[in-house]
Amino acid sequence: MTDRRTADIDADADPTDGRHETLNERMDRNWAEILQELRVTQTGTQILTGFLLTIAFQPKFDDLTMFQQRVYLILVIAAVVTTALGLAPVSLHRGLFRKGAKQTIVQTAHIILRIALVGVGIILVGTVLLIFDLVVGRVAAFVLAGITLLIVIIIAVLPVIVGAHRPAQGQPSRKRTS
């Protein structure tokens, strides 16, 4: 008897890849992959958060316009929440360690990591907006923040685009002839 969660995980596995993993082995591998991804996002997010937190203590902070102050505060909240989201899977793992919940941990961490990536995108776009507004001006800031947003959206939908062009699992790839 398989429930929906097990079916989702089984659908994620490619039976033709030669791994012959048990569910536990697959969960261990998936958890290790999530941890690698978290290391990348945590480092970047923590650096951006630290950068943003120091801005308030700079002498020119008082010269910011109301718009710049609001963008800054939104960025601080986004950075702190995103950093916390990056830590959440570790806390989840610690809380459920040795309780037979690896599948739940992996599935929940996957969702948390996806939300954290949205937060990273918000921070990137907002940081470009704030810095270019300070240095060059509002129009350039909106143009470059818009371009950054477009890039972030393209990166976000890239898995859908690439996945649509892959052969179905278990199906041989078709070679194109020129």
DSSP state of 172: P
pLDDT of residue 75: 96
Q: Angle at the Cα of 159 (from 111 to 126), degrees rounded to 5?
A: 70
pLDDT of residue 97: 83
pLDDT of residue 152: 96
Mean pLDDT, consecutive 10-residue segments, the chain of 178 residues? 52 64 84 86 88 89 94 96 91 85 89 94 96 96 98 94 73 49
pLDDT of residue 169: 57
Three-state DSSP at 132 gives helix
pLDDT of residue 15: 61
pLDDT of residue 40: 85
Both tokens assigned to 87: 């830590």
